[in-house]
Structure 1
Amino acid sequence: MTTHDLTKALAALAPEQHKYAIKGIQRGIEREALRIKPNGVISQQGHPKGVGCALTNGHITTDFSESLLEFITPVSESAEETLNQLQDLQKFTLSQMGDELLWPISMPCFIEHQDDIVLAQFGDSNIGRMKTLYREGLKNRYGSMMQAIAGVHFNISFPESFWQSLQAIKGDTGSLQEFISAGYLGLIRNFKRELWLISYLFGASPALCNSFLQGRSTDLPFKKLGKGTLYLETGTALRLGNLGYTNSAQSSLRVMYNSLDEYVAGLKSAINSPSDIYGQLADYRDTQPQQLNKNVLQIENEFYSPIRPKRNAKSGETPTDALLRGGIEYIEIRALDVNPFAATGIDIEQIHFLDVFLTYCLLKDSPTMDWDSQQRSTENLDTVVSDGRAAQVMLNRSGSSCSLTTWGAEIFAQLQQVAAYMDNAYGVSYYSETITRLSQWIADPELTYSGRYVSQLKGSGIDNGYFALSLAESYQQQHQDTPYKVYSDSYLIQQAEQSVIAERELKAADNQTFNAFLDAYFTTK
């Protein structure tokens, strides 16, 4: 979309009947964090008993391993409330962890061997056992070290009033839900085209501990620091690159985003197609299963994508079946590193930026993307991951070479327009202020998270692991000193106790064997 086209779209939203339609954006955050011992080594203790059951506590659970906590906020229209909830959940969990700390960065450290990473346990119910066996499959397919990487997921939905205004402006007379789903898919395509910008601004994993490689060779231009730190002088987000949360076996999966049917068909094909690579691993029908099944993806969640269309599923419903039933309800952004400069792992400035950036991705024209276009976006991301802060970085823009600074400056010029519209609707100034501030990061890479991180790492002269450990200690103290803002100790204890009862009830309600349960699950999918 040209600047003129975006200006036109914003002008159409300016009249009184559409001016405030954007008000009511809803968000939720899922923040992952490894539990570590006071010396920085990954914890091998079970999930803290005081926070309840990982399977049934909707706020505090685990991801891949017992030590990889996940904090989940409920949906809220207030970004401040969301961050306060995240703060409260982490404060409470730390109080139940003894002397353990929360690792404040994405890339793990102080792990001698992947067997030190204990698989998450979800109890003896059929669904709990399924979750653990799925993780066993991830371990055997990709190795546990990759699964120990932490990130932040940002969920967002736009208010129905906004969709109604856009539909009226475009003169669309079809189903509102179909219009919404098409709009979200357009947003996703634009996000993928300019995903490199998120990595440039907020990538915060330019360094790792040598132990993470486990002897693997890499052609990344690492520099060494201290006893065991490897870092990329001008890199941004190793978590998003080939050493991170990627899957080469998935590189051939042609999951496309031009229509909901196309997206679902791509995913369903992967979860129903036998894998040449994983076919030799025993599945759930074996006495010693190593994975759920022998397909390219065991289940849909195994598909690693920086952004996903989502709908809340009913009990027993798969994510894709939920999408087919009701259309896209919200978007999950999975491209954020843990912010090492925020105790909660994400800050208010990032949320304000994402509000504007995602609105811009929704409003601008979004042509369909063929497979070559998707590959270009991946290549641009790889360039920024490994070398994004270098001088004169060149990216592939629709088949032509374009400098990062030129493209970035053009994006920010358009973001300023969107921010002005949002400020006007919300009666605030912080959207424009955020865009103005972050626009300076395009010309000065040292202002970015990765730039600041490398600068502080080199300035301190200490290894990455010990640098992160000092952050973990300061954030533990900060959580301890900050009073609860939304929840209370007693409320969170009650939630933990209720989760234990709920897990017991789930187990008691099982009326078939584990194998029969999985037979039924996979037969209907």
Structure 2
Amino acid sequence: MSEQLSCSERTTTIDESLRPLLIHGLKGIEKESLRINREGLISLSPHPVQLGAALTHPNITTDYSEALLELITPALSDGTEMLNSLKDLHKYVCANINDELLLAASMPVGDLRDTAIPIAEYGSSNIGRMKHIYRQGLSYRYGRCMQVIAGIHFNYSLPEQFWPEYQQFMKNAGDLRSFTTQIYMGMIRNLQRYGWLILYLFGSSPAVSKSFLDSRNSVYSRTLQEFDETSCYKPFATSLRMSEIGYLNPVQSMFHISFNSIEEYIRDLGSATTIPYLGYERIGAKVGDQYRQLNTHFLQIENEYYTPVRPKQPTRPGERSLQALGSRGIQYIEIRSVDVDVFEPAGITIETTRFLEALSLFCLFQPNAGHDLKQLDEISNNALWVANRGRDPRLKLLDNGHEVPLRQWALTLCEQMQEICEILDNGDADIPYTRALHQQIEKIRHPELTASARVLSAMRAQKMSITELVLQKSHEYARYFRSAALDAAVKRSCDLQVKASLAQQKRLDATDEIPFDQYLSNYFSQGASASIVHSQELHLPQNLPDTKVETVVR
């Protein structure tokens, strides 16, 4: 593996012939939001029928819980249209959930005992049962509180016309799909490497409710300070969601999932779904006629493995995601480390999406021959340090073994992104991408401008707990979306989607299918294919501790 350049030595130079091909990449957002009542408790009511069927609706579904909505925009080349689509979904949802609210934060509040968090239901079809049992397994494995942490996923793919031209520019004579996938994997590795910057800029969870800490029962809870009788915080934290009390997954220290190639990624992740884990065997996969989880392996399915950036290929009916990647390569990448912005009605701004698009392209053009274990440790440590104390002016990160002040490294990266932003501005006199970049540079120079700092500032200024603050914002945004008129054509389209999804759900539930046991066996038999290899190829420590593994699925 060739030595990577230090932060001060890396440069970005993009050939003139490629620049027009970088504009108008496809962007999409998946935004999770808990349905809560006006007092802040998680809703115990079923997914509203007025929103359609969660299993079959393309844009309004549920994640782990029946109360955890997931709003999905189409993939669009225009970022403004994408964000408007997200806002339209909010308007439609808020008009159809009676007097309930959408929680305006990533970290849940209120009663977070398992009995207060209903697991999502998807009907009686085999696929619906599988999705529910999988979530039931997560409940047995990790408890339900962590599973209702909400986030925003930013999906991105380059324009199709870019790839053959870039392959020719790189003098690659191989298969175009393989070339595209290889370049996307390099982009992902660099997004992992620089992912701490996303946490610094867009983290919005420096404080959590004590009910969350009590439900999580994590040893790391002791590292937080008391803000008031119901809230705890870290003074320099940016994203406790991405810290040890949030999504940190100790199982990742037990085995290694390589991102150095799609083949290694599929091999390692596929293997993790085939190795039994003693603690999960004690739970049991099936007790009598009732399933508790899909299986007793380290991961029930590959989606259970949490990673801040994920390679994606849409699946076909009954197809595993690893099978899709092995068969058709990477279609887009998914950035999963963005907090719900407490200060934005839709949870994210257009400037944030523009910066993430520019950062993704920047990462595509940066050299990265692969990560060894030492570099993976650096990546993990940098992310944790920034999540826990990213605004600490003394904080230094590791760059190839060298300590670098966060501010210095962040400003260097932003300076190097300038060229990408100018390309994406595409002659627009308003220079939208350059403006978005400059907005982030101001946050680096003035940490008090970050959302995480503003959360703590608002709590202090208004003498509010974190629960009171996010409830205030949740009520404010409910009024905002309910008072905003939804375009008549958009409403008609949404109504038709609801009707179609309910009809499709009814057909699925009424269809005579093979027995569920056989359906599950057929699904997992895909692991025997050449693209998902067997468990002996994954190197695990011999004596793994029998602990409750803290992981999350999205």
Alignment gaps of 5+ in structure 1:
none
- Structure 1 distance, partners of 2:488, 2:185, is 34
Structural mapping, 1:60-99, within 5 Å: 60-99=60-99
Query: How far apart are residue 524 of structure 1 and its match?
Result: 2.8
RMSD: 1.7
CA deviation after TM superposition for structure 1 residue 231, in Å: 1.1
Matched, 1:381 2:383: yes
Q: Which residue of 1 aligns with 2:457?
A: 455
The alpha-carbon distance between structure 1 residues 442 and 5, as it changes in their structure 2 partners (threshold 3 A), is closer
What do residues 374-398 of structure 1 show as CA deviations (whole Å, max 9, x unaligned)?
1210111110111110112011111
1:195-215 Cα shifts (integer Å, max 9, x gaps): 111000001111110000125
State the AA in 2 paired with 1:253: F
- Partner of 2:137, secondary structure, is helix
CA shift at 1:508, angstroms?
Answer: 2.6
Q: Which of 309, 324, 327 is the matching residue for 2:311?
A: 309
CA contact (8 A) 2:221 2:245 kept: no
Equivalence for 1:411? 413
Alignment correspondent of 2:541: none
Deviations 1:221-261 (A, max 9, x none): 42322330111110010111111123223432311111110
2:11 alignment partner in structure 1: 6
Pair 1:458–1:93, CA change in 2 (3 A): same
Q: Deviations over 1:336-357 (max 9, x none)?
A: 1111111111110101101111
Alpha-carbon distance in 1 for matches of 2:429, 2:9 = 25
TM-score (norm 2): 0.91
Deviates more, 1:277-286 or 1:481-490: 481-490
Map 1:21-170; keep pairs closer than 5 Å.
21-170=21-170
Cα deviations by residue, 1:485-523 (Å, 9 ceiling, x for unpaired): 596323212211111110111123342111121122122
State the aligned residue count: 520
Structure 1 residues 425, 486: CA separation in 2 closer, same or farther (over 3 Å shift)?
farther
Measured in 2, the distance between the counterparts of 1:342 and 1:62 equals: 21
Deviation beyond 3 Å, 4+ runs, structure 1: 1-7, 424-428
**1:445 matches 2:451:** no
CA distance in 1, matches of 2:252, 2:137: 15
CA contact (8 A) 2:20 2:423 kept: no
Q: Please give the per-residue CA displacement for 1:259-308, whole angstroms capped at 9, x wherever unaligned.
A: 11001001100011111221111214742321110011001110101010
Give the Å deviation of 1:216: 4.1
3-state SS of paired residue (2:280):
coil
Distance 2:520 2:303 in 1: 16
Q: Which residues of structure 2 form unaligned runs of 5+?
A: 528-554
Structure 1 242/258 Cα, relative in aligned 2: closer, same or farther at 3 Å?
same
TM-score under structure 1 length normalisation: 0.96
Q: Return the letter of the residue paired with 1:388.
A: G
| Conservation of the 8 A alpha-carbon contact between 1:200 and 1:385 | yes
In structure 1, the partner of 2:549 is none
Deviation string 1:168-222 (CA, Å, 9 cap, x unpaired) is 2222222221111111111111111111110000011111100001254436542
User: Does the 8 A contact of 2:112 with 2:145 survive in 1?
Assistant: no
Distance verdict in 2 for CA 1:436–1:460, change over 3 Å: same
CA deviations on 1:302-348 (whole Å, 9 max, x unpaired) are 01010100111111111111111111110011111111111111110
Aligned to 1:522: 524
| Distance in 2 separating the partners of 1:362 and 1:503 | 40
Instruction: Tell whether the 8 Å contact from 2:320 to 2:526 is kept in structure 1 after alignment.
Output: no
| Structure 2 residue identity aligned to 1:40 | G
Residue 19 of structure 1 aligns with which residue? 19
Deviation (angstroms), 1:4: 7.2
Paired AA for residue 500 in structure 1: L
Q: Is the 8 A contact 2:71 2:89 kept in 1?
A: yes
Deviates more, 1:293-302 or 1:413-422: 413-422
The alpha-carbon distance between structure 1 residues 228 and 128, as it changes in their structure 2 partners (threshold 3 A), is same
1:285–1:515 contact (8 Å) kept in structure 2: no
Q: Is the 8 A contact 1:28 1:155 kept in 2?
A: yes
Question: Does the 8 Å CA contact 2:65/2:148 hold for their aligned counterparts?
Answer: yes
Identity, in percent, stands at: 35
Matched, 1:331 2:336: no
Q: Which amino acid aligns with 2:176?
A: L
Residue type matched to 1:65 in 2?
S
The aligned residue for residue 532 of structure 2 is none
2:403 alignment partner AA: S
Secondary structure in 2 matching 1:440: helix
1:437 Cα offset (Å): 2.1
Alignment of 1:336-485 (within 5 A): 336-424=338-426, 429-485=431-487
